[in-house]
Chains A and B, each alone.
Chain A
């Protein structure tokens, strides 16, 4: 079945450091790919998405590129802030009917000043 694999956390970075959170997927067909963010005590918010190969999703300084050849969708940010501390989820959704989002296990990011 469809699945998403994320790098294990937690990830701890100093402010202004470069962030990469790896995400790879297994899916039939051509899924849409998403990154969601969950701040402490809150629900999940859509951070960015890409719906076809080579698309780049971006938002709030975060970027991820849909790489079909490596089945990856790694999340990057050039300079993290303390306010970026959260749990990040990679997810996919395949185009067959009302398929649910399939999530990775989440990666907790802590940014220290």
Chain B
């Protein structure tokens, strides 16, 4: 059983398109996150949801819109894709307590051409 699953694993698309990445966790965690990992492996928080409520929204272009239909799902929709959006996007979840780490999905490699 996959704890945090993301789909798709790979996504190649043209500039200007709109695309979505889905994430689901079966751990019963309250909090979910999206991170972006650039080509140098640097990880940057994008969004965090706790019990379907947005609690962290870093300086991310408003072309990126997260949606959480329930606490087990956090999807990421991206409008008008740009070349600079090419990266690996990781979904993660946690208990919401600070002494717990995160459980990560296996990532979605987005390539914008």
Contacts and interface: CB of A to CB of B under 8 A. Distances in A.
Contacts of A78: none
A97 B30 CA distance: 13
Contacts of A44: 43, 90, 92, 102, 104
A5 B56 CA distance: 23
A97 to B, nearest CB: 8
Interface residues of B, number: 25
Contact of B45 (A42, A95, A100): A100
A44 B41 CA distance: 11
Nearest to B105: A43
Interface in A6-23: none
Contacts of A32: 98-101
A96 B99 CA distance: 11
A109 to B, nearest CB: 12
Given A98-B50, A98-B96, A100-B56, A106 B42 contact: yes
Interface string B79-97: 0000000000010100010
Q: Which 8 A-B pairs have the closest CB atoms?
A: A43-B104, A95-B98, A51-B99, A43-B106, A106-B41, A103-B43, A100-B45, A44-B104
19 contacts: A32-B98, A34-B101, A36-B101, A42-B107, A43-B105, A43-B107, A44-B104, A46-B103, A87-B41, A91-B101, A95-B98, A96-B98, A98-B56, A100-B48, A103-B42, A105-B41, A105-B42, A106-B41, A106-B43
Interface of B: 4, 31, 33, 40-43, 45, 48, 50, 55-56, 90, 92, 96, 98-107
